[in-house]
Structure 1
Amino acid sequence: MYKEIKTAETYHVPVLLDESVGGLNIKKGGIYVDVTFGGGGHSREILSRLDPTARLFSFDQDADAEGNIGEPDERFTFVRSNFRYLKNWMRYYGIDHIDGLLADLGVSSHHFDDAERGFSFRFDAPLDMRMNKRAGKTAADILNTYDEQQLADVLYIYGELKNSRRIAAAVAKARSQAELKTTNDLLKAVEPLFRREREKKDMAKMFQALRIEVNHEMDALKEMLHAATELLAEGGRLSVITYHSLEDRIVKNVMKAGNPEGKVVQDFFGRVETPFKLVNNKVILPSDDEQQRNPRSRSAKLRIAEKK
């Protein structure tokens, strides 16, 4: 299917590759979905374990990801779409069940290294942060139009920043004088509020919060997991890599309780009613060797569950 691609240079080295794909317990002739195609590393590994009768559908809303598709393969279908529309696309392709789904929820190093996208405070760039450059509000739109309370909520909930109100107030003051258009405009407005010893960590949290809001990441994750729960056949596997506590909590709750809120429902005998059974009771973490080779993996956690 694929020509040789320098994934590490164009996107990123796949995190927990063997563990996440191995966790799918692949049937050679099964139907699988990789909802985060990116550089194509996980998809390539899945395809290497499939026979000619199998199917793999890989999603990515970023047009740049299409550059990582190689030679045509009848087993492979690329879907240029947000994974929140998983159910609609499977219906479109006539698929009523799948045998496994893999999600690597981390933002690729490609996005952080693309100075024009505004994902990182390392570059002076337009405040964009959209995964799909064709639609939706940009980070600049949010920073210039949300009221102070809305901004503070975004920064506190998605960035877990304790001084979110002060940051929001600083943004409001700065934009009253001139519209915030670039990452440097934002940094100039808020930099005095970050303590030197935590500056980079807290700025990363601020950019994370804006990126999550721009791309509606939590809502999209909940919708995708709900669709995956419905689509997975009995014995089908869900293999998900998370990178921060917000998304990890949602994934853990869905796997343990069957819903994003973690609301436990018990039957007459006190057994928890959930569509899944956990394959790994403890999260799987990257080895020390992988963390040394691939710094992006250091905050990664893998959870795997099987449909009952």
Structure 2
Amino acid sequence: MPNENEPKPTSERHLPVLLERCINLLSAGIEAARAAGRGPVVVDATLGMGGHSEAILARFSDATLVGIDRDEQALALAGARLASFGERARLVHAVYDEIPDVLDRLGLDGADGILMDLGVSSMQLDERERGFAYSYDAPLDMRMDTGRGMTAADVVNTYSVEDLTRIIRSWGEEKFAGRIAKNIVAEREKKPLTTTGQLVEVIRAVVPAAAARTGGHPAKRTFQALRIEVNEELDVLERAVPAAVHSLRVGGRIVVMSYHSLEDRIVKGALQARSRSSAPPGFPVELPEHRPELKIITKGTEVPTETEIAENPRAASARLRAAERIRTRSGR
């Protein structure tokens, strides 16, 4: 009989979101590489537990997969999952805004496909000691890279009322941000807040019950805000999309899945800015370097089907955007 205390295999713990759609979108970049006579290179910029990467390597037998993640535990799990692919899977401990540097270190001059699956991973939510989830008590950590940086406990125990209000309102889109921030500061003066359970109770005390009934768990938005602050997620994303586009070869595609409006707004803005002419208003001739770098592939955002959401509830908030590189920076 299976031991219930043993962790499930990685393939059972993680269901990749919008898997077939991602593979199909990336396939055009793979074909462009083949047509140019080179081996395709695909970057999974947010490797996680390796579900998308495994499917890419299995589908495209000539592709090299570069997997990037800042979470060393994720890298270890994905490495075991992808071991059978040998040197075709090249995994790197880095943050995904470092794509150009990672490719350069590996001796690769570009990518034919780049995938970003943003936000917190299934593994991080499931590992209680990481402190990402509000549903059980754990140390108040929330770092994606546990080897460096401040923790969520550092934030809630040192930030001012004003700064806590700002991040909870801005990153969590929480209308009770001021109340929550004031209560955090009041409670930490009695004793430091060190666990997720303590923080949940502090939030529950000031969020009206009626709001919790209609808006989901009262701590959901505050936990999102703290996670974004601890990991500098939006700052990284603002750098990462342009860096990814810079690394794409002509014909290559970027596919990005976001899970809340703050992420999607950044992705949309970055892709659309590069899909329009950069010629100054009134400029008589559009020079080659002014032409759009990208062609938007998706119409608005694409979302999971009801069937996929039923199989994988964590996919419910996913929003997918994709674009294709249509010229180099020099205009050719």
Q: TM-score scaled by structure 2?
A: 0.84
Give 1:63's match in structure 2, choosing from 53, 66, 72.
72
2:329 aligned partner: none
1:304 and 2:307 matched: no
Task: Tell me how far 1:282 sits from its aligned partner.
Answer: 2.5
Question: 5+ residue gaps in structure 1?
Answer: none
Q: Report the more deviating stretch, 205-214 or 160-169.
A: 160-169
Give 1:23's match in structure 2, choosing from 22, 25, 32.
25
Change in 2 beyond 3 A, CA 1:276/1:186: same
Distance, in Å, in 2 between the alignment partners of 1:133 and 1:206 is: 20
Letter paired with 1:258? R
3-state SS of paired residue (1:151): helix
Give 1:48's match in structure 2, choosing from 29, 51, 58.
58
Task: Tell me how far 1:92 sits from its aligned partner.
Answer: 1.1
Give 2:42's match in structure 1, choosing from 17, 29, 32.
32
3-state SS of paired residue (1:237): strand
Contact 2:176-2:207 at 8 Å conserved across structures = no
Task: Tell me how far 1:273 sits from its aligned partner.
Answer: 5.4
RMSD: 2.1
Distance, in Å, in 2 between the alignment partners of 1:256 and 1:153 is: 28
Contact 1:129-1:211 at 8 Å conserved across structures = yes
Distance, in Å, in 1 between the alignment partners of 2:291 and 2:270 is: 12
Give 2:242's match in structure 1, choosing from 207, 211, 226.
226
Q: Kindly, what percent of the aligned residue pairs are identical?
A: 39
Distance, in Å, in 2 between the alignment partners of 1:129 and 1:44 is: 26
1:110 and 2:131 matched: no
Give 2:155's match in structure 1, choosing from 130, 142, 148.
142
Please give the per-residue CA displacement for 1:268-291, whole angstroms capped at 9, x wherever unaligned.
379895421101122111111111
Pairing 1:116-131 to 2, within 5 Å after superposition: 116-131=129-144
Contact 2:99-2:247 at 8 Å conserved across structures = no
Question: 5+ residue gaps in structure 2?
Answer: 1-7, 327-332
3-state SS of paired residue (1:205): helix
1:280 aligned partner: 298
1:7 and 2:20 matched: no
Contact 2:204-2:218 at 8 Å conserved across structures = no
Please give the per-residue CA displacement for 1:95-120, whole angstroms capped at 9, x wherever unaligned.
22111100111322222221111111
Task: Tell me how far 1:189 sits from its aligned partner.
Answer: 2.0
Letter paired with 2:305? S
Distance, in Å, in 2 between the alignment partners of 1:68 and 1:83 is: 16
Give 1:179's match in structure 2, choosing from 156, 167, 192.
192
Please give the per-residue CA displacement for 1:33-92, whole angstroms capped at 9, x wherever unaligned.
00111121100111123234x321001111221123232512110112221222221111
2:206 aligned partner: 193
3-state SS of paired residue (2:59): coil
Distance, in Å, in 2 between the alignment partners of 1:269 and 1:175 is: 62
Contact 1:161-1:202 at 8 Å conserved across structures = no
Letter paired with 1:61? R
Distance, in Å, in 2 between the alignment partners of 1:290 and 1:153 is: 35
Q: TM-score scaled by structure 1?
A: 0.91
Q: Whose Rg is larger? A: 2
Letter paired with 1:105? L
Please give the per-residue CA displacement for 1:162-200, whole angstroms capped at 9, x wherever unaligned.
121111111111111111111122122221222224434
3-state SS of paired residue (1:37): coil
Distance, in Å, in 2 between the alignment partners of 1:147 and 1:274 is: 44
Distance, in Å, in 2 between the alignment partners of 1:100 and 1:212 is: 26
Letter paired with 2:47? F
1:163 and 2:176 matched: yes
3-state SS of paired residue (1:107): coil
Letter paired with 1:23? L
Letter paired with 2:89? F
2:267 aligned partner: 251
3-state SS of paired residue (1:101): strand
Distance, in Å, in 2 between the alignment partners of 1:136 and 1:239 is: 28
Task: Tell me how far 1:264 sits from its aligned partner.
Answer: 8.5
Give 1:237's match in structure 2, choosing from 253, 263, 275.
253
